[in-house]
Amino acid sequence: MLLYRIVRFFLFLLPPEKVHYLTMKLLKWPLATRIFPGTVAGEKTLGKQVAGLWFPNPIGLAAGFDKNARWIPLLAQLGFGHIEIGTVTPKPQDGNPKPRLFRLPKDHALINRMGFNNDGADVIAERLSQLDRSNLKVLIGGNIGKNKVTPNEEATSDYLYCFGKLFDHVDYFVVNVSSPNTPGLRELQEKESLAQLLHAVQAANLLKPAPKPVFLKIAPDLTYEQIDEIIGIVTEVGITGIIATNTTLSRDGLKSHVEEVEKCGAGGLSGAPLSQVSQGILWYLKSKCPKDMVLISSGGLMHAHQTQKRLDAGADLVQLYTGFIYEGPLLLRRIKKLLLTGAKN
């Protein structure tokens, strides 16, 4: 833990987006997974069946970290049970202008306005087709979205294109309508638009000989009335479940100086400030959703005990992102040790 704090100190002297790519290069060093092991003895008992898939453990990496499916084997070595690539759009796009990723160290938080920068569905599907999964004990999720230039009226075609391209290469899908960084995207969470989109994706899914689990990722800024509507739509359409939550537009309760926050500008906030909000939405979903609906909890998971709390509250799986950046690969090890201790008691 001390070693990672030292490494993090020097990495945080550099711009966040550059550090992201530098860190992945450093983790390719042969001794990296020995210094920062994510596996623990006895972790095979953490495996579980969810949505008809066998997850080696309940801890996943949320979308946005490996947008282009470049680092799946390396991230699998760190101990994740599933890795969600994307968000993938039909056409490649550069995303929003840089700088677009900012740290708030006092809050253990990030603000990003990346804007679905990715290589596009064709390139990513080809990359995944070349991936040797014979010894890869990790599941892959495909998080799909629309291109910035695609009007919302035509968004369904973008999602269906990505769905078709990635179908043979991922284990489950996530329909992302909750990123705050693509103009107008969150309007697709509104009742009529969302129902039309999910019906189309699920119809395409059911035409396949072996349909795959489909999840909807929602924002933390929804009202309970909006969440109720979403639960109704997800239940009616018959997709697998919900991932809660994406990043928030709120800046309430931050410890960082107002000027520092304002300097970051627009974007979604992730990390510790989101913890209570995401926990609360999970509790609400668990109380309102059908018992067979799968719930994946993401947002503000910075410590092992928080992960245990989410699973105890009814999450079938959890996903890390900002906690992984601030706490490092050893966070997975601490979570697994705590989960194993609980399993023995």
User: Catalytic positions, please?
Assistant: 179
Q: Position of tokens 């253990």?
A: 108
Distance CA 299, CA 301 (A): 6
Helix (H) or strand (E) holding 317: strand 317-320
- Tokens at 14, concatenated: 């550099």
Partners of 98 in the beta sheet?
A: none
- Tokens at 222, concatenated: 């929804």
Distance CA 232, CA 293 (A): 12
Identity of the residue numbered 65? F
CB 113 within 8 A of CB 100: yes
Helix (H) or strand (E) holding 172: strand 172-176
Where do the DSSP E strands lie in 38-137?
48-50, 53-55, 59-61, 82-88, 101-104, 109-112
Partners of 144 in the beta sheet?
A: 88, 175
Q: Give the HSE-up count for residue 310: Cα atoms under 13 Å, Cβ half-sphere.
A: 31
CB 93 within 8 A of CB 118: yes
Partners of 280 in the beta sheet?
A: none
3-state class (DSSP) for residue 129: helix
